[in-house]
Amino acid sequence: MLDVPGFNQDREADLSRFNDFIEAGANLLLPIAAIFEAGNHIAQLADGRQRRRYAETFKDRVREALAGQAPWTPIRLPDDRELAGWLDDFPDSAMRGAGMGDLSIVKAWERTCAQHPARRVTIWSHDRDLVAYDRRP
């Protein structure tokens, strides 16, 4: 959504899908891993002016989300006990080629499914493993 150069090749399709979600009244949750990954993409920009511009925009958009002024809500950070459980699951996750970022997204999906059993819960991603997480009630 930030249109970061080199990481925006599917922008038109993403904007269309985003608008579909908004029109459907979907609740959009923003995983912490996605925030970190977007920040990493921005930090990798070679042009310092672009890097600054996108970093400022990123900062503003995440702060808007934290303040409840964006169409998505950041997912809370795990507490120590929850993180310890994720670590227990990490070796199996790593064997499937999924790192801690992906594992944290899957764990948030599982928690959201448990909290909202009568709602569709899906992970919107370009990662072929993550898009498989789509639970319909």
Would you list the domain boundaries of the chain? 1-75, 77-137
Q: Find the helix or strand (DSSP H, E) in which 121 lies.
A: strand 121-122
Strands (E), 3-62: 28-30
Selection from 129, 132, 89 nearest residue 121 by Cα? 132
DSSP state of 73: E
Prediction pTM value: 0.87
Residues in the chain: 137
| Per-residue pLDDT tens digits for 47-90 | 999 999 999 999 999 999 999 999 999 998 999 999 999 999 99
Q: Is the predicted pLDDT of residue 128 greater than 90, yes or no?
A: no
Give the orientation angle of helix 48-66 with respect to helix 32-43, to 10 degrees.
160
| Per-residue pLDDT tens digits for 18-45 | 999 999 999 999 999 999 999 999 999 9
